[in-house]
Amino acid sequence: MPGGVIVGAQWGDEGKGKITDLLAERAEVIVRFQGGNNAGHTIVREGKEFKFHLIPSGILHAEKTCVIGNGVVLDPAVLLGEIDGLKRRGVDVGNLRISANAHLIMPYHVLLDTAGETKLGKLSIGTTRRGIGPCYADKALRLGVRVQDLLDPKILRTKIRAALEPKQQALRELSVQRRKLRKEAGEAAEPTTEVAADEVPDPRLDLHTMTEEHVNFGHRLEPHIADTARLCWEALDAGRTVIFEGAQATLLDLDHGTYPFVTSSNPIAGAACVGAGVGPTDIDEVWGVAKAYATRVGAGPFPTELEDEIGKRMGERGREFGTTTGRPRRCGWMDLVALRYAVRLNRMDTLAITKLDVLSGIGPLRVAVRYRSREGAVLDSFPYHQSILHSATPEYEELPGFDEEIGDCRAAADLPVGARDYLGFISEFVGVPVRLVGVGPDREQAIWIDS
């Protein structure tokens, strides 16, 4: 596959990092095309755990070029922390390239994210509070600061100044509003860490300090800054394999996910073109990654959620805590209505199913095959209307499941019949072959299935 996209098929955290790492063996360039450090990949290599938020999972292959594409929003302090962490562990990051057109998450974006969530109260989205939404909003408003701006202190200062003014105003208003609400509710103290108070200038919002700090970030990042779209074209035109790696997942897509409980970018395959700067015909293959069950972090509809012992068990066995925020993930049965939607939306060719081992010993396994609306209507496809989705109840097919531990299986034939039938049912229902199965956290714990 000269141009291949890897996307999450559910609500994120499907284990895309491991799948990308495995597929990266066949690629020369790996490109992240959207999202920011709201994402988190964990890769276990020879018992060593590596956690990434921004750097593409392929970085562990020293000879591959890893690209942070123009569609990514990046927090330079976080990126430099990640680069330093990898260097300390002996990982060569010389092949990391960062698009000069990628947008920067600035300190005021992080403050606004938190302030916005606090203001929404019970209606909050449950964002990762990393400044993702406010940064993409500035990009659309044409108030963004881009990676290339780090290289020119004068331009940088002008851009920060233009972006900063409305933020200071917005943060002041939010702060006043919140204090008023607290007062009305009879609450006393203001939490000091959240938002700039109106009368005390927040040091994080000082134009001079921010500019100086970012000029320094620029010096450190300069060797990595590049025209990454051209880099992709050159590789593709020479017939080399380029993998475009999505963060988050289909149901968190800004346009096609469960809006407003979504992220602020487009994690679907089509967005790889925009976020990396290639054309649709550069994409030859689309891989979707789905967990053998379902999880979601943050608020929003999740029809197959299990708030019982089975859900708890999945969470414990699957170590379902967010890589970025540490929040426990909500767990539930595999939702094939949602998965079929994701398959079509991304026009997936192939599925990778991860964490199948987590389901061993759970008992009979359920998979949602349709929903029923509050009015009793049968819904075979994923409803586009939020109110319908919110009140839809799933209807399940029950499959026998399996009790054997499968962490040592390395071929489909090694899997117990119950596990194979489970995979077969999923594949047939959504109409896409399952070609890779994860049976444990280590990269060796994977089964390739020839179709």
Asked whether the beta carbons of 383 and 359 are under 8 A apart, the reply is: no
DSSP labels for 323-366? Answer: TTT-PBPEEE-EEHHHHHHHHHHHT-SEEEEE-GGGGTTS-SEE
Closest CB 197 distance from ligand IMP, rounded Å: 24
* Residue 103 falls in the annotated catalytic set: no
Q: Which of 102, 135, 252, 290 binds ligand IMP (CB under 6 A)?
A: 252
> Segment contacting ligand IMP (CB under 6 A): 259-267, 347-355, 367-375, 404-412?
259-267
> Segment contacting ligand IMP (CB under 6 A): 67-75, 144-152, 198-206, 245-253?
245-253
Find the DSSP H helices in 89-196: 107-120, 132-141, 153-184
- 13 makes contact with ligand IMP (CB under 6 A): yes
If the CB atoms of residues 252 and 343 are measured against ligand IMP, the closer one turns out to be 252
Closest CB 258 distance from ligand IMP, rounded Å: 9
Asked whether the beta carbons of 240 and 2 are under 8 A apart, the reply is: yes
Asked whether the beta carbons of 353 and 437 are under 8 A apart, the reply is: yes
The tally of CA atoms less than 13 A away on the side-chain side of residue 415 is 26
What whole-number distance in Å separates Cα of residue 176 and Cα of residue 107? 20
If the CB atoms of residues 112 and 132 are measured against ligand IMP, the closer one turns out to be 132
User: How many amino acids of this chain bind ligand IMP (CB under 6 A)?
Assistant: 20
Tokens 């609500």 found at: 11
* Residue 41 falls in the annotated catalytic set: yes
If the CB atoms of residues 31 and 110 are measured against ligand IMP, the closer one turns out to be 110
List 13, 113, 149, 349, catalytic entry: 13
What whole-number distance in Å separates Cα of residue 247 and Cα of residue 34? 7
What whole-number distance in Å separates Cα of residue 253 and Cα of residue 245? 15
> Segment contacting ligand IMP (CB under 6 A): 56-64, 130-138, 139-147, 406-414?
130-138
Site string for ligand IMP, 132-171 (x = CB under 6 A): xx--------------------------------------
Q: Residue number with the shortest CB distance to ligand IMP?
A: 298
Q: Which of 34, 99, 118, 127 binds ligand IMP (CB under 6 A)?
A: 127
Asked whether the beta carbons of 314 and 27 are under 8 A apart, the reply is: no
Residue 201's contacts (CB-CB under 8 Å, 6 or more residues apart) are: none
What whole-number distance in Å separates Cα of residue 336 and Cα of residue 349? 16
Reference 369, options 315, 307, 306, 303; nearest CA is: 303
- 175 makes contact with ligand IMP (CB under 6 A): no
If the CB atoms of residues 112 and 446 are measured against ligand IMP, the closer one turns out to be 112
If the CB atoms of residues 36 and 401 are measured against ligand IMP, the closer one turns out to be 36
Asked whether the beta carbons of 58 and 263 are under 8 A apart, the reply is: no
If the CB atoms of residues 311 and 401 are measured against ligand IMP, the closer one turns out to be 311
If the CB atoms of residues 283 and 297 are measured against ligand IMP, the closer one turns out to be 297
> Segment contacting ligand IMP (CB under 6 A): 21-29, 260-268, 304-312, 406-414?
260-268
Asked whether the beta carbons of 426 and 367 are under 8 A apart, the reply is: yes
Q: Which residues pair with 328 in a beta bridge?
A: 321
- 354 makes contact with ligand IMP (CB under 6 A): no
Reference 345, options 249, 418, 449, 238; nearest CA is: 249
Q: Which of 9, 125, 163, 437 binds ligand IMP (CB under 6 A)?
A: 125
Site string for ligand IMP, 288-307 (x = CB under 6 A): ---------xx---------
Q: Footprint of ligand IMP on this chain (CB under 6 A)?
A: 12-13, 38-40, 125-128, 130, 132-133, 247-248, 252, 261, 263-264, 297-298
Which residues does the annotation mark as catalytic?
13, 41
